[in-house]
């Protein structure tokens, strides 16, 4: 990767794509993001996420807005069916929302104005060009004479096109089209349970419920499933009490071959979804049944949030990791969920995206070899993926399956530590 500005194509305009795009644009490279979605507006996507250490570092370094984007959470509390706190674990976290980060990153990448960021930062002369190209579905990637060709279909204008790039970043998420093209054998098997998600504006919850959930990451555990709640920024990114969102995730066992699974993954138009049924599409009868079940098994504050959620969405839980991160002589790189998909329990997807980008910056500045970047991102991705499996197995499965997942995780950590010791002594 030379010193002159590169023409970089990034496939996928979500958090990982934007983080890498911002980083490389600030280094003077020209960035062209190909995004499959036909619109820049992301409505109804109020999923909560955790801003881990690397995500926080990324925003300190690259966010020119320098305004709060997260809420401090002191730790995790476990409550019983009577809504009494059984245990509290001190574990400070920064909680935020996918939509909040998306619009913040868009403002920094290409100056996109929104209610979240109405006054984007000014672009400096030293920055490279930034293009956010909507409605582009990548159909092929190939390598010839030191350049990568990216072919795509255009869902907005019709027809197709092709870009030639010095470097391609595949940041197109858990269902990565690029990963499927270069590694069609890689699968993401269903873990045996789903994640029901939803949120309620804080002012719409009862005073008792707001008091219980105030600032804490709250968990209610049941046999073979559990639900959690934490507070995230509001629908316009607001951090004001009353305008924030009470965000829940309910992990629920459901066999893949069951009629129940078929029902909950089929939207109101009769279309069955493979991985995620988005907000606004859930069948009313399915959601009514789940709300009735929630009332019968959940502690009252959780049941209230489920009852008051108007646009739930659901994802089938899975995990995967690619055996490699670098292809085409280092000219095609996998990052974020396209590289390693974690089960959502640990909420570190955004952190992985930031970590990948921060390390890639070192490669571009010739402070790190690409082979070392690949080694570190694969080690991090595999360790966090295994940790997410441990967490899921503890809550949803238990027994020998859980024990074996712990052993696999510990063996990987030991192997990584031994590898670092060898590196420091050689």
pLDDT-based confidence at 1, cuts 50/70/90?
low
The torsion angles phi and psi of 226, rounded to 5 degrees, stand at -155, 160
Give SS3 for 317.
Answer: strand
The answer to whether residue 2 scores a pLDDT higher than 80 is no
Give SS3 for 312.
Answer: coil
Which helix (H) or strand (E) segment is 341 a member of?
A: strand 340-341
- The model's pTM is 0.96
Per the CB < 8 A criterion, the answer to whether 334 and 321 are in contact is no
Per the CB < 8 A criterion, the answer to whether 364 and 330 are in contact is no
> What average pLDDT does range 163-185 have in this prediction?
98
Q: Which value, in Å, is the radius of gyration of the alpha carbons in the chain? A: 22
Per the CB < 8 A criterion, the answer to whether 354 and 54 are in contact is yes
Burial letters 140-171, b for 16+ CB under 10 A, else e: ebeeeeebbbbebebeeeeeeeebebbbbbbb
pLDDT digits (tens, 9 = 90+) for 346-379: 999 999 999 999 999 999 999 999 999 999 999 9
pLDDT digits (tens, 9 = 90+) for 329-351: 999 999 999 999 999 999 999 99
Give SS3 for 309.
Answer: coil
Point out which residues pair with 165 in neighbouring strands. Answer: 148
Place of tokens 């595949």: 170
Distances (CA, A) of 330 to 143, 166, 361: 11, 10, 14
Per the CB < 8 A criterion, the answer to whether 107 and 113 are in contact is yes
Per the CB < 8 A criterion, the answer to whether 202 and 242 are in contact is yes
Burial letters 338-357, b for 16+ CB under 10 A, else e: bbbbbbbbbbbbbbbbbbbb
Per the CB < 8 A criterion, the answer to whether 140 and 153 are in contact is no
Per the CB < 8 A criterion, the answer to whether 285 and 227 are in contact is no
The answer to whether residue 27 scores a pLDDT higher than 70 is yes
pLDDT digits (tens, 9 = 90+) for 84-96: 999 999 999 999 9
Q: In angstroms, rounded to a whole number, what is the distance separating the alpha carbons of residues 40 and 46? A: 15
Distances (CA, A) of 219 to 98, 245, 304, 306, 382: 21, 17, 15, 14, 26
Give the tokens for residue 30.
């020209």
**Average pLDDT taken over every residue of the chain:** 96
> What average pLDDT does range 176-182 have in this prediction?
98
């Amino acid at each position: 990767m030379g010193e002159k500005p590169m023409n970089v194509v990034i496939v996928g305009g979500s958090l990982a794509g934007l983080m890498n795009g911002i980083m490389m644009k600030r280094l003077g490279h020209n960035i062209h993001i190909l995004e499959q979605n036909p619109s820049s507006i992301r409505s109804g996507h109020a999923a909560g996420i955790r801003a881990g250490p690397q995500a926080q570092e990324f925003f300190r370094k690259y966010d020119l807005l320098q305004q709060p984007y997260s809420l401090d959470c002191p730790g995790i509390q476990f409550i019983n069916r009577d809504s009494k706190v059984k245990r509290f674990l001190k574990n400070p976290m920064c909680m935020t929302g996918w939509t909040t980060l998306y619009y913040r990153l868009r403002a920094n990448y290409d100056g996109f104005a929104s209610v979240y960021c109405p006054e984007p930062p000014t672009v400096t002369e030293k920055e490279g060009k930034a293009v956010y190209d909507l409605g582009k579905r990548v159909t092929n990637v190939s390598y010839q004479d030191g350049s990568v060709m990216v072919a795509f279909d255009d869902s907005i204008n019709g027809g197709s096109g092709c870009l030639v790039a010095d470097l391609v970043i595949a940041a197109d998420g858990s269902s990565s089209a690029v990963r499927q093209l270069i590694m069609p054998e890689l699968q993401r098997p269903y873990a045996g349970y789903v994640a029901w998600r939803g949120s309620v504006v804080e002012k719409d919850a009862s005073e008792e419920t707001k008091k219980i959930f105030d600032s804490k990451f709250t968990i209610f555990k049941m046999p073979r499933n559990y639900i959690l709640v934490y507070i995230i920024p509001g629908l316009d990114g607001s951090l004001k009490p009353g305008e924030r969102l009470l965000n829940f995730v309910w992990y629920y066992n459901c066999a893949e071959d069951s009629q129940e699974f078929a029902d909950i993954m089929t939207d109101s138009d009769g279309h069955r979804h493979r991985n995620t049924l988005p907000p606004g599409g859930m069948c009313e009868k399915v959601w009514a049944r789940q709300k009735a079940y929630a009332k019968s098994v959940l502690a009252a504050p959780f049941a209230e949030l489920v009852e008051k959620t108007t646009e739930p969405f659901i994802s089938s839980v899975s995990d995967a990791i690619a055996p490699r991160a670098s292809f085409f002589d280092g000219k095609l790189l996998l990052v974020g969920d396209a590289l390693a998909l974690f089960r959502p329990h640990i909420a570190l997807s955004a952190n992985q995206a930031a970590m990948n980008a921060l390390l890639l910056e070192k490669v571009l500045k010739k402070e790190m070899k690409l082979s070392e970047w690949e080694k570190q991102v694969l080690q991090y991705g595999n360790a966090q993926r295994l940790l997410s499996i441990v967490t899921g197995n503890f809550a949803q499965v238990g027994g020998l399956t859980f024990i074996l997942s712990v052993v696999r995780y510990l063996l990987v950590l030991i192997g990584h530590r031994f590898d670092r010791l060898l590196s420091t002594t050689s």
